[in-house]
Amino acid sequence: MAKDFLSLSDAGGDMVAAMINDAIDRKAARKGWAKARPDADAPLAGHVLAMIFEKNSTRTRVSFDMAMRQLGGSALILEAGSTQIGRGESIADTARVLSRMVDAIMIRTDDHAKIEELAHYAEVPVINGLTDLSHPCQIVADLLTVVERGFALPGLQLAWLGDGNNVANSLIEAAGLMKFTIRVGGPAGYEPDAGFVARARAAGGEVILTQDAREAVAGAQVVVTDTWVSMGQAGGEVHVAAMQPYQVDGALMAAAAPDAMFLHCLPAHRNEEVTDEVMDGPQSAVWDEAENRLHAQKSVLLWALGKL
Ligand code: CP
Ligand code: NVA
């Protein structure tokens, strides 16, 4: 059975912790090296990852490509529109064909049902590079960034501001797996997925939903936000109006714990969900977070290919 990474739960809390530790070790071991030089053990030598993109990407695309290079393997980028998927070849047949030629598949797609279908028919691991429902790879990088700054995950106090989107859903999933508290501050009608909330609570995470931005950030050691309008999401102008009270600005950061860190998966819409003052300020860890996509994706690939 191929080890798919469609959600953080596919790996589980212990394995997510192991991924973070491995990423910290590998990152330290290659400090100062040329960026494409393979790690000393080149654990994925001879392996190829195919990446299918049905939506735009900068970080996910570059981090997985560089991750494969650093692990000693290589990657193929397939823009869905220029493949036969774009002309209607089925996901199932695409899965069967790619499984004969590559060792793993990463896909960024609009509809979560498509990645489930791909994983069902593929004989190689399938990795979720973002769907409308979730973005687990991002959260491994985010947790790595939090741990790197000296925070323990169990008992962590984290605030999410704005839209209850794919990134929020995976962060809520992480709260259950790693046993931390997440306070989600956002407008009515933009709550995160109810299934993710229920499962995280059942797993031992504390998930608090509020429409009060100040209540969300009170005592938070980490403040996280994302775009108010995700790729492919309809009704942009309505969203922006509803989200305004949840903008992360200096005053809202001051209402969090002293020295709270600020995270954003990027791309940011500066002076919408976050002000320049916060993005570029001393509490922002967004560039480390972006770099950590690379280190985190290496761990995800190693886990999926049975090397972790
Ligand atoms: N955070 C993230 O997934 O970025 P990209 O859309 O650039 O891949
Ligand atoms: N929620 C955003 C994340 C982008 C990385 C989106 O889906 O567009």
Note whether residue 102 is domain-resident: yes
Same domain, residue pair 280 and 156: yes
Same domain, residue pair 164 and 229: yes
Distance 234 CA to ligand 1 centre (A): 19
Q: Which atom of ligand 2 is nearest to the CA of 166?
A: 1
What residues make up the domain containing 65?
A: 8-135+293-304
Same domain, residue pair 124 and 12: yes
Closest ligand to the CA of 133:
2
Residue type, 101: M
Ranges of beta strands (E only) in the chain are 48-53, 74-79, 104-108, 126-128, 157-161, 181-185, 206-210, 222-225, 261-264
195: CB partners within 8 A, 6+ apart: none
Number of domains in the chain: 2
Note whether residue 80 is domain-resident: yes
Same domain, residue pair 249 and 187: yes
Note whether residue 154 is domain-resident: yes
Same domain, residue pair 300 and 231: no
Supply the residues annotated as catalytic. 108, 135, 138, 226, 265, 293
Note whether residue 141 is domain-resident: no
Same domain, residue pair 163 and 129: no
Q: Whose CA is nearest to atom 6 of ligand 2?
A: 230
Note whether residue 123 is domain-resident: yes
Same domain, residue pair 279 and 182: yes
Containing 170, the helix (H) or strand (E) segment is: helix 166-178
| CB-CB contact of 265 with 142 (8 Å) | yes
Note whether residue 143 is domain-resident: no
Q: What pLDDT score does 28 carry?
A: 98
Same domain, residue pair 30 and 81: yes
Asked if the peptide bond before residue 38 counts as cis, ω within 30 degrees of 0, the response is no
Same domain, residue pair 86 and 119: yes
Q: What pLDDT score does 21 carry?
A: 98
| CB-CB contact of 259 with 285 (8 Å) | no
Same domain, residue pair 162 and 78: no
Q: What pLDDT score does 237 carry?
A: 85
Which residue ranges have their beta carbon within 6 Å of ligand 2?
Answer: 130, 165-167, 226-227, 230-231, 265
Report the chain (308 residues): mean pLDDT per 10 consecutive residues: 92 98 98 98 98 98 98 97 95 98 98 98 98 98 98 98 98 98 98 98 98 98 98 89 97 97 98 98 98 98 98
Q: Whose CA is nearest to atom 2 of ligand 1?
A: 59
198: CB partners within 8 A, 6+ apart: none
Q: What pLDDT score does 239 carry?
A: 87
Q: Kindly report the CATH number assigned to the domain that includes residue 274.
A: 3.40.50.1370
Question: Helix 286-304 to helix 59-70 angle, to the nearest 10 degrees?
Answer: 50
Same domain, residue pair 154 and 124: no
Same domain, residue pair 25 and 117: yes
Note whether residue 3 is domain-resident: no
Note whether residue 142 is domain-resident: no
Q: What pLDDT score does 238 carry?
A: 85
Q: What pLDDT score does 148 carry?
A: 98
| CB-CB contact of 112 with 193 (8 Å) | no
Distance 135 CA to ligand 1 centre (A): 9
